[in-house]
Structure 1
Amino acid sequence: MGSTPEFSRREMIRRAAAVGLIAVPAMSALSACASGDSGGDGGKVDKGRKSEKNPLAVNESAPLDVVIFDGGFGQQYAKDAEAEYKKAFPDATVKHSATQEIQTQLQPRFNGGTPPDLIDNSGAKQMDMGTLVGKKQLTDLNALLDAPSYDDPARKVRDTLRPGVVEMGQFDGSETWILYYAYTVYGVWYSRTNLQKLDAQYPQTWEEMLKVCETAKKKGIAGWTYPGKHPYYLPFSLYPFIAKIGGVEVLNRIDNLEPNAWKDPAVKAAFEAYYELYKKGYILRGTPGLTHIESQTAWNEGKVLFIPNGSWVENESKKTTPQDFGMAVGAPSSLDKSSDKMPFGTLWASGGEPFVVPKNARNPQGGMELLRVMLGRKSSQNFIKSVSSLTSLNGGTEGLTLPPGLASSQEALTKAGKNVVNPRIQDWYVALQKEKIGVGAIGEMMAGRLTPDEAISKIQRFADDTAKDSAIKKYRHK
């Protein structure tokens, strides 16, 4: 790896490994790798001729290298968009790859200066976004955002996107490093049918939540489950619960790594409420050992009522979902209607499936053009129909019959109105959020191995360590 005046080669590798940019087992092979700032434009293909049909000046015969995360949304939607790209540029060859091992597969290519042209950097083993941005390894996507949209040349791409999507891709300036393609609704997912069997509705207060769980328990049904092997799913409902109790400013202070942010009374109240699910025996037995697929399957089979998840779950679990399941998403229940700072209906919704074009991509114009295709109405509706999820294109559902979970997501967004939160810790500090907060503390608490106070103290130490680590670039709410 190329050195800098401030750090030795060994120190740079150590620090990159510490924040998850470099896989530690591969360190012995990294001594000759290229740094994020090296490589220049030496390997890039020549630009094509800019025209009305080719606003990004794509080289019409240049190969395009695409890597897609093969998770809840699968990869067919990307293949379909690539087919549209091929229609526009028939002389281009498109190399399509899919993997769940994004970091393992792609980090050596980044280090060697030969990354793909477009990457869906998602999943449990995604590359750390904040580190990629901090090490200047990504292409600014403003050229894409300022290009004419695929369907209406009079509108820029940026003007066709849902509120907040562009801002999510920005970190500490006007550059846009990430384009979130999906639009995800997070929350407490449930089966309308299975609640009806208990003569129950979705609980709007935490007291009602505990009563429903107790009713279910008496019938041999668990109240909650979650992917115990990936407990960073728990914040999908826990973070908006915190915001609902204490206001969005509590999440902003957490995102900003402010001292004692995790010791806010709203955090303590939310943690204690969730811990009560464990203490009262409302968690499905064996949950700490379950994968996301196993927990979703148990939920589909009616063994459990509630599961924290994102709107990709409808597509990901469709093989085991009964036809009459009535999948739906609920916003966090009110802890105390009289004192909660935000109303019932407050939920977390934001861009998902982060797409990036590496700085050292050989064909960055092609990578951005494929994204432009994907954000067109045809590709967007194809995604909606095939994977039961919204895209970041604002609208696109006109004329479509939405499946139950997606229809519920739309209803939840409408009900939330302006009360939509978007914690940035998940993309600013991926390693902190997933492995330390999720696995190291919240997962331990929900398994009964830490009390809420112990979990909060542990998380605050993790956050403080991240704040003090000069190798990790910091970001703040504007």
Structure 2
Amino acid sequence: MGSPSDHTRRDLIRRAAALGLAAVPASGLLTACASSGGSTSDKAAKGEKSAGNPLGVNAGAPLDVVIFDGGFGDAYAKDAQKIYREKFPKADVKHMATQKIQSVLQPRFNGGTPPDLIDNSGAEQMDLGVLVGQKQLTDLTPLLDAPSYDDPEKKVRDTLRPGVAEMGRFQGDAVHVLYYAYSVFGVWYSQKNLDRFDAEYPKTWDDMLALCARAKKKGVAGWTYAGKNPYYLTFALYPFIAKIGGAEVLRAIDDLEPDAWRHPAVRDALEAYHELQRKGYVLRGTPGLTHTESQTAWTEGDALFIPNGSWVENEAKATMPKDFELRVAGPSALNGSDELPAALWAAGGEPFIVPAKAKNPEGGMEQLRIMLSEKSSRNFTGQVSSLTSFDGGTDGLTLPPGLGSAVEALEQTGENTVNPLHTGWYGALWKERIGAALGEMMAGRLTPGEAVRKIQADADATAEDDSITHYRHR
């Protein structure tokens, strides 16, 4: 085994493979990336700005869009593209849907011919911190400052849910990412399955353990999770940490502060989760399950709880019974000394980006402006049972059970909603290091103390590596 810094340097090179740069020494990444193929002369000529065309889109320029075809599908994007075609009938709009974002787009970034708009999501999501650090993304400030699609008196940024624009800000005032979906993360469950045990969602961790013990006696596991993608555990664990110790604990983790992972709230949360494993309350075989396999086991009643995001209502609908009564909740109270009365992780999801070398960046931003209209937002919510970053669009809609529960949970949590930013700043650290260590702990191969030491070492190595672009809360 190499040192933590050796691992981190290898991580960076592997992360930069999304740009076709794996063979380039880490110290030369910026130069190599900036000098890859393509040029500004390839860009379409800008159109004339007007009230109906505030971004100055060239009406005849082609538009190239790539959408991640995951839990939300791509029908919502196609519907928004129909509006774009109606507005710019001379434009040739190319649409591609894929789950292989990195594999498909790596050669295009490397060759300087990326699409005009990308939904950069999924297991092969390109690392946003690397893309920003290597100046591969367009600043979306012109979009945010443009008149909104529905109300010319209101800017696009003023129609977004709180914190969404800030999530896309990595350096200075520039915003390089626009998160389209608005996801609620937490502990998801079926009220119908809890009714089998005459139970409500556990208010305290002792109640949680007691319910899991009762379920185990009936042959039902308390928990399951995406064993092959164990960073899913953080969807419930991070708000648990914040509830125990306060939101500042997560901010310290975001900022890669020394000893952030050694905070007592982190220790207490990890020990509580490890107890689920130690007492046999986790579904047997969970460490080997994909996210869809764990969701299927859960919808079929093999486990009561699963850490997940609000996309699960759409993604798992094929196996979810009609009377499932899907619900989401924040963490149970560890004890009477928790810093926060409630906590929930809610944030923008589905990160949309416009590459710096896109031929039609104005068209890519205009497509996003259309998607952030009330009509497109309502269409997305109606299709996939998820909110968008547009602050509204649900009036008059009959929300499905899970989404209705998510909206209610947001209202109850209020200002104690948290949003860990290191998940976007240091994607590889979160998914490949933190997630892996938590997965090892939940598989019984690491103690909570060992997991903390491993994660802190990786976080420290990331902080000390000058070849990685670092970000901090303001």
Tell me whether the two structures share a fold, i.e. TM-score over 0.5.
Answer: yes
Deviation at 1:42? Answer: 1.6
Residue 13 of structure 2 corresponds to residue 18 of structure 1: yes
Select the residue among 405, 421, 425 that pairs with 2:422. Answer: 425
1:289-316 superposed Cα distances (whole Å, 9 cap, x missing partner): 0000000001110111000000000000
Partners of 1:262 and 1:459 within 8 A in 2: yes
Deviation at 1:28? Answer: 6.0
Provide the aligned length of Structure 1 versus Structure 2. 462
Residue 208 of structure 2 corresponds to residue 209 of structure 1: yes
Deviation at 1:27? Answer: 4.3
Deviation at 1:391? Answer: 0.2
Partner of residue 35, structure 1: 33
1:16–1:369 distance in 2 versus 1, CA, 3 Å: farther
Deviation at 1:37? Answer: 6.0
1:434–1:218 distance in 2 versus 1, CA, 3 Å: same
Amino acid at match of 2:308: N
Residue 380 of structure 2 corresponds to residue 394 of structure 1: no
Deviation at 1:347? Answer: 0.5
Structure 1 residue runs without a partner (length 5+): 1-13
Partner of residue 466, structure 1: 462
Partner Cα separation in structure 2 for residue 25 and residue 223 of structure 1: 43
Partner Cα separation in structure 1 for residue 280 and residue 22 of structure 2: 44
Identity of aligned residues (%): 65
Residue 411 of structure 2 corresponds to residue 453 of structure 1: no
Partner Cα separation in structure 1 for residue 80 and residue 20 of structure 2: 36
Residue 381 of structure 2 corresponds to residue 384 of structure 1: yes
Partner Cα separation in structure 2 for residue 398 and residue 101 of structure 1: 35
Partners of 1:19 and 1:472 within 8 A in 2: no
Partner Cα separation in structure 2 for residue 399 and residue 37 of structure 1: 51
Partner of residue 357, structure 2: 360
Deviation at 1:18? Answer: 2.5
Partner Cα separation in structure 1 for residue 287 and residue 422 of structure 2: 23
Partner of residue 339, structure 2: 341
Partner of residue 326, structure 1: 325
Deviation at 1:36? Answer: 3.4
Partner of residue 257, structure 2: 258
Segment drifting more, 93-102 vs 404-413: 93-102
Amino acid at match of 1:340: D
Amino acid at match of 1:464: D
Partner of residue 218, structure 2: 219
1:437–1:196 distance in 2 versus 1, CA, 3 Å: same
Residue 368 of structure 2 corresponds to residue 371 of structure 1: yes
1:19–1:164 distance in 2 versus 1, CA, 3 Å: farther
Segment drifting more, 271-280 vs 70-79: 70-79
Amino acid at match of 1:97: M
1:108–1:17 distance in 2 versus 1, CA, 3 Å: farther
Deviation at 1:59? Answer: 0.6
Partner Cα separation in structure 2 for residue 91 and residue 267 of structure 1: 56
Partner Cα separation in structure 2 for residue 72 and residue 129 of structure 1: 20
Partner of residue 86, structure 2: 87
Partner of residue 431, structure 2: 434
Structure 2 residue runs without a partner (length 5+): 1-8
Deviation at 1:425? Answer: 1.1
Partners of 1:36 and 1:111 within 8 A in 2: no
Partners of 2:119 and 2:350 within 8 A in 1: yes
Partners of 1:137 and 1:359 within 8 A in 2: yes
Partners of 1:34 and 1:113 within 8 A in 2: no
Partner of residue 309, structure 1: 308
Partners of 2:39 and 2:112 within 8 A in 1: no
Alignment of 1:181-196 (within 5 A): 181-196=180-195
Amino acid at match of 2:264: P
Amino acid at match of 2:396: G
Deviation at 1:125? Answer: 1.2
Partner of residue 440, structure 2: 444
Partner Cα separation in structure 2 for residue 405 and residue 360 of structure 1: 39
Deviation at 1:99? Answer: 1.3
SS state of the match for residue 315, structure 1? Answer: helix
SS state of the match for residue 22, structure 1? Answer: helix
Runs of 4+ residues deviating >3 angstroms: 14-17, 23-34, 36-40
Partner Cα separation in structure 2 for residue 460 and residue 225 of structure 1: 26
SS state of the match for residue 108, structure 2? Answer: helix
Deviation at 1:40? Answer: 4.4
Partner Cα separation in structure 2 for residue 475 and residue 187 of structure 1: 26
Amino acid at match of 1:333: S
SS state of the match for residue 438, structure 2? Answer: helix
SS state of the match for residue 340, structure 1? Answer: coil
Partner Cα separation in structure 2 for residue 251 and residue 199 of structure 1: 35
1:215–1:469 distance in 2 versus 1, CA, 3 Å: same
Deviation at 1:15? Answer: 7.0
Partner of residue 4, structure 1: none
Partner Cα separation in structure 2 for residue 248 and residue 360 of structure 1: 38
1:63–1:293 distance in 2 versus 1, CA, 3 Å: same
SS state of the match for residue 184, structure 1? Answer: strand
Deviation at 1:354? Answer: 0.3
Partner of residue 5, structure 1: none
Partners of 2:19 and 2:106 within 8 A in 1: no
Partner Cα separation in structure 2 for residue 102 and residue 75 of structure 1: 14
Partner Cα separation in structure 2 for residue 16 and residue 210 of structure 1: 37
Partner Cα separation in structure 1 for residue 53 and residue 171 of structure 2: 30
Partners of 1:37 and 1:137 within 8 A in 2: no
1:2-38 superposed Cα distances (whole Å, 9 cap, x missing partner): xxxxxxxxxxxx8785250215998469999962366
Deviation at 1:423? Answer: 0.3
Amino acid at match of 2:439: G
Deviation at 1:378? Answer: 0.8
1:440-465 superposed Cα distances (whole Å, 9 cap, x missing partner): x0000000000000000000011011
Amino acid at match of 2:469: K
Partner Cα separation in structure 2 for residue 327 and residue 36 of structure 1: 47
Amino acid at match of 1:278: Q
Amino acid at match of 1:378: K
Partners of 1:131 and 1:473 within 8 A in 2: yes
Partner Cα separation in structure 2 for residue 273 and residue 126 of structure 1: 31
What is the RMSD of the two structures over their aligned residues, measured on CA atoms? 1.8
Amino acid at match of 1:449: R
Partner Cα separation in structure 2 for residue 477 and residue 24 of structure 1: 27
Partners of 1:37 and 1:135 within 8 A in 2: no
Partners of 2:20 and 2:109 within 8 A in 1: no
